[in-house]
Amino acid sequence: MRYRILGGTGIEVSTYCLGTMMFGAAGNPDHDDSIRIIHAALDHGINFVDTADMYSAGESEEIVGKALQGRRDEVVLATKVHFPMGEGPNRGGNSRRWIIREVEASLKRLRTDWIDLYQIHRPDHRTDIEETLSALTDLVRQGKIRAFGSSAFPAHETVEAYHVARQRGLYRFRTEQPPYNILARGIEGDVLPTAQRLGMGVLTYSPLGWGFLTGRYRKGREVDMSQGRAARAPERFDPSIPVNAAKLEVVEGLVKLADELGRTLPELAVAFAASHPAVTSVILGPRTMEQLDGLLKGASLMLDDAVLDRIDELAPPGTNVYQPVALWSPAPLTDPALRRRPPGDRAAS
C-alpha cells in the first residue's frame, strides 16, 4: 500500500480509503461481517476510513466505532455532516448550531474522543460560509477534530471558502471529496486544478461509476431492472436511454484494455482514479469481503502513459459520459425565485 500526505496536514493516508456507506441497513446489515471487512482492510495496509452521520442514519458510524476499538490510533478517521438526521427544522445543514450538536453525536457513535477529518457533506446556501468555517475552526481548537474538508463543492465555492478563511483568520478546508471515475471526468477541468492550487487533498468516491465499471453491465446483455441499483434508479441503467448506451460503449473498450493488461475492469478503474496527481486517496465502498478483495487487487496497479492514453481515447479528459449525481443541486437551479425577476422588474425591462 502506498501513502500520501493529506492536504498539507502532515497526516499520511493510504492511497485507498475504506468507505463505509454500505455498512448498515443501506447495504450490509450484519455488523459482525462489516467489522470483519474493516479489519481486513486495515490488515491490508489501509489506514484511512471514511463514513458519515447520515449513512444508514448513524448505523455506519456505530459499526465503525465498534470495529476500531483497540485500533483507533492506527486509523485516520473521517466522517461528514450536513444531511438531515431526523424530522423537523434545524436537524441538518451547515449552521454552527447543527455542526456543534452533530459532532458530539458522531463522536459518541464512533466511540472516540476526536475525528481526524470532519467534512461538510454538501454546500448549504442558507448558511454563510463564514459561519460554517468559524464553527469548524472552534472544533479544531477544542481538539474534537484535527482538520476539516468539504464534499461535492463546486470549484467556485471552494475558492470562496478559501478567501473567507484568509480574510477572517479562520482555518480552511484541507480536503475536497468529489465523485470521479473514467466515465465522469468533468472535475479534471476545474475542481482538481483548484484543489492543487490551494494545496488541498482530494478524496474521490464512486470509482466504479455506479457499477458500470464492475463489468456487470455490458453492451447487448440483458439488464434485470427489478434487482439492485437498477430497480432503485432505472433511468441510470436502462440501455435504451442514450446516456446509458454511451456508458456501455465505453465499457466495451475498457474491458478490452483490462483484458490486454491481464487485469479486471474494477482494478483498472480504481487504479485510474489514483493516477491523477491531484488525488490523494480513492474511496472504495465494498459491501462484501469478496468485493473488498477484488478492489484491493488494483492497489498494486500503476498505469503508464500508454494505458492512460488509451483511456483518454475512450473517455476524453474533462468530459462526463454521464453526469454524476451528488445528491445536491445549486440553489439557483432548485429555487425558481432565484432565477426569476419579480413581475414588476420584468415589466420595467
Q: How do residues 307-316 score in pLDDT, each as one tens digit?
A: 999 999 999 9
pLDDT for res 36 = 98
Catalytic residue, from 55, 118, 180, 217: name it: 55
CATH code, 218: 3.20.20.100
Q: What is the pLDDT along the chain (349 residues), one digit of tens a residue?
A: 999 999 999 999 999 999 999 999 999 999 999 999 999 999 999 999 999 999 999 999 999 999 999 999 999 999 999 999 989 889 999 999 999 999 999 999 999 999 999 999 999 999 999 999 999 999 999 999 999 999 999 999 999 999 999 999 999 999 999 999 999 999 999 999 999 999 999 999 999 999 999 988 888 787 777 777 777 778 888 888 999 999 999 999 999 999 999 999 999 999 999 999 999 999 999 999 999 999 998 888 999 999 999 999 999 999 999 998 765 677 788 888 888 888 777 665 5
What pTM value is reported for the model? 0.93
Taking each helix axis as running N to C, give the angle between helix 242-261 and helix 305-314, from 0 to 180 degrees, rounded to the nearest 10: 160
What mean pLDDT is reported for the chain?
94
Number of folded domains that form the chain: 1
Residue range of the domain that includes 40: 3-348
Q: What are phi and psi of 13, to 5 degrees?
A: -125, 150
Q: How do residues 129-153 score in pLDDT, each as one tens digit?
A: 999 999 999 999 999 999 999 999 9
CB-CB contact of 186 with 264 (8 Å): no
55 is known as an active-site residue: yes
